[in-house]
Each structure stands twice: as C-alpha cells, then as structure tokens.
Amino acid sequence: MNSETIGKLTQNLRGALIGRDHIDYEDARKLYNAMIDKRPLLIAKCSDAADVIAAVNFGRDADLPIAVRAGGHNGAGFASVDDGLVIDLSLMRGVRVDPVKRTVRVGAGCTTGDVDHATHGFGLAIPFGVVSTTGVAGLTLNGGHGYLTRQYGLAIDNLVEADVVLADGTFVTASKTERPDLFWGLRGGGGNFGIVTSFLFEAHPADTVYAGPIFWELKDAAQIMRWYREFLATAPDEFYVFLGLQTVPSADPFPVEHRGKRICVLLVSYNGAVAEGEKAVNAVRQALPAPIFDFVGPMPYPALQGMFDGLYPKGLQWYWKGDFVKTLPDAAIEAHIEHVAEAPSEASLMHLYPIDAAVHRKAGNETAWNCRDATWSMVIAGVDADPRQAPTLKKWASDYWQAVHPFDLGGAYPNFMMADEGDARLKATYGDNYEGLLNLKKKYDPDNLFRMNHNIRPAA
C-alpha cells in the first residue's frame, strides 16, 4: 500500500477513510467486545451503497482481508481484521416506515434501537433481539430472535428483500422473486455472500407490552426450570418468557439487600392487551414461589428492548458459548445450577431464549437458518469489565458449556459463537442446508473475499 493507492480510494468515498495515523483511529477500531483487539490497516466509513462498492473493489484489487462492520456488536470480533480493510457501515442509519404497507426500510448501519424508535411512533415493531445496541445487519443475517419471535418469527422470517454488494462490486437486490437463491442464503447464512446495504422488513403491531423481570433466589431455580420446560409449550404466541441464571447487579434499581445474589430470572413480555398480559403473568406468579422482587408492568416496547443496555455497555470483556436446546432434563438443570453458582463475575450469565411457536411453522429448508425444531437458543456468557479476567471468563464459559452440551443439539445460534468453534460446529449448525450454502458461496463469492465471519468456504 502506498499513499497514491490509498488516495484513489479516498477520492471515491463520500465518507472518511481512517488510517492508523488518523486522530480517530483508536476510537474507530474499538468493538463492543473489548476482549477482541484488532488493528486494521484502513477503516472505510461508508455513507452509502456507492461507498461500499468502492471499498469492496479497492479491498479486492489490493488483496486486503476485508471485515464488514455494522453495529460492531458481534461477540467473535468479525467486525474487524488485523492489517486489512474494515468496511464500516455505521453511518448508514436511515429508517423509513411505510405504515400503510407495514414495511420498514432499514440502513445497514442501524442498531435495533434506531429501528424501534422509528417504528414505535406507528405502533409497529420488527422481531429483533433483546439489547437495543445490537446491529440490525449482524443480528438479521444470522437469524435474529427476541421478544416478538414466538408471535412473529425470526428477523429473517420478516425480511422482504435486501440490497447487496457482491464480491465483484455488483449491486443487486435479493428477494423471493429476484435472486431467490441469494435471498435464501442471506436468511441465516451470515455475511458470507456479500455486503447488505439495506433491508426491507415486514413490521407488526407492538406498542405497550406487559413486561419485565421476576427474580428468585438460586435455591428456587430447579423448581422454576422444571415448571418452565412444561409451561412454554402451552403459552400463547404473544406471551414470551426467557429464563436466565445470573447475579443481581450491584446497581440501581436493584434492592441493596439482594445485590450480588445468584438468582433465577424469568423475563416476561406479553404483546397484546395489557389486561390480558397481567392475567397471564399473574398465573405465573401464582404457580411459582414468592420472588425476591418483581419489576413487571406495562411499558413501551422500546423500553423493554433497551432494558439491559446500561448493564452491558460497549467495552466489556465477553466470551460466548451457545447451543440449540430441545429438551431440559433434570440432569441438565442440575449442571446449569452448579456452574452458575461458580460464575466469575456479576455480569456473567446463562439465558434460554424461546425459538418455538411461529419459528416452528416454517420448514427447515425454507431459509438457510436450519434449526426449526429446537425449543431454545442458549447462551453462556462470561462477562466482566476487567481485562485481567479474560482467561477466567473463557474457562468458566467453556467448562460450563462442556457440562451441558451433551444434553443439547449439535449446533448453535451463530451470534452466540466465538471464532474458535471450528467447521464441525458450523456444519452442525446448518445441518442439511450446509451443502446448499457451500454451492451458493461458490456462485457468489468463489474467492472467499468475505471470510471474516463464521466462514462457509466455497465448494470445490
């Protein structure tokens, strides 16, 4: 690389090109997960699709490794690359709601919070995740599950079309009628096939939800988990309940006398009439022991989406392990409780997110996201602010996962997988769809330009 070559890219960008000597370099290269520390050669801050095309052509012709950054939230750190080019989409944050058609056009740099803010004014929402700082692009391309999933499906189930820049610099649109093979692969295959510059989603009614967390001491966890595994199958679609094993944070609004306690939490959300939601949650309250506190009540949907943002800001140390889970036998419950009791920090956790109901109503080969017969998506996350804790977080999460994985399915939600998972895990995650993804990769990215991801290598 020389100044003349870099200068040509600068001339072709409306956004900024940030090199290592740029005043904004250190801030621009930071990721959500501070355990990942990479030093790219260049960061192209793209303002539109034309910028993305210019950056792709430059990176390919210069033979630079390319990473794509949208929200920068990916736990494995795929949003950056050492000594390569980061194509940064974070400036592309436009959202346009069509309340008549109930569709939403979303720029690839948006967070889910950006979209929630725009759609809430129309009483609408898109099924995204549970933290509003998450990037829409990474969440969607790997499936996307959250509070509205039981009712409306995964994020990819509500994707209508996507604009994509391919490895050769071509700009295309993918939908059920236009490049349907690419559209199939984008819905769960990650960033393997190109760079999505905008998404068009179907939106659904969601305004005020009856929602919030209910906390019990860990001594009640086994009873609650046994109840939960039976309850979920009978719950109406609009009633979403995820289960967590974690620690009461030492921060407001949590009562001082309970801070630091290991607990079992049910995070409930009823998207429907508030009175019906209160009735549904009251039935849960009556079925279980008295909690140590209960923060459930009516709230705007975006408030629910942003509930954890303050507890998990950018810059913490994260190590993730995930699995798809079909059943929760007593032996698995015992293993979960044993390992959570030894959590290395207040922020470390295990969550079971439901992926049943509406998710199960689509065939496994309808999208690249394959695991339509699971009941939950599990994540184990070792989290702490102190970089010195990184080895301890990794060991705890890995040991915990080793203990419960024999009870789980072979694959996992890609957004809950680190970069050290290996091909066997990827094949287990995609199952019968893996061969189709290999062939799609060969067609759209034969030289594997887009490889900073859970990489699907082109078929020979």
pLDDT band at 376 (very low <50, low <70, confident <90, very high): very high
pLDDT score, position 8: 85
pLDDT band at 7 (very low <50, low <70, confident <90, very high): confident
- CA dist., res. 69 & res. 55, Å (int): 13
Q: Is-contact 317 228, C-beta < 8 A?
A: no
Query: What predicted TM-score, i.e. pTM, was given to this entire model?
Result: 0.96
What are 314-366's pLDDT values in tens digits?
Answer: 999 999 999 999 999 999 999 999 999 999 999 999 999 999 999 999 999 99
| CA 278 from centroid of its chain's CA atoms | 29
Radius of gyration of the chain (CA): 22
What pairs with residue 319 in β-bridges? 382
pLDDT score, position 5: 80
Identity (one letter) of the amino acid at 54? A
In angstroms, the Cα distances linking 270 to 98, 117, 126, 157 are 25, 19, 15, 20
> Which residues make Cβ contacts (< 8 Å) with residue 417, sequence separation at least 6?
75, 76, 320, 321, 322, 425, 429, 454
pLDDT score, position 6: 86
pLDDT score, position 2: 74
pLDDT score, position 460: 57
pLDDT band at 1 (very low <50, low <70, confident <90, very high): low
pLDDT score, position 96: 98
Q: What are phi and psi of 410, to 5 degrees?
A: -75, -30
What are 169-205's pLDDT values in tens digits?
Answer: 999 999 999 999 999 999 999 999 999 999 999 999 9
- CA dist., res. 90 & res. 302, Å (int): 21
What are 394-435's pLDDT values in tens digits?
Answer: 999 999 999 999 999 999 999 999 999 989 999 999 999 999
* Residue 78 CB neighbour total at 10 angstroms: 24
What does DSSP say about strands 171-175 and 239-247: parallel, antiparallel, or unpaired? unpaired
* Residue 327 CB neighbour total at 10 angstroms: 12
What mean pLDDT comes out for the span 217-229? 98
Q: Give the torsion through C-alpha atoms of 278, 284, 285, 289, to 10 deg.
A: -170
pLDDT band at 267 (very low <50, low <70, confident <90, very high): very high
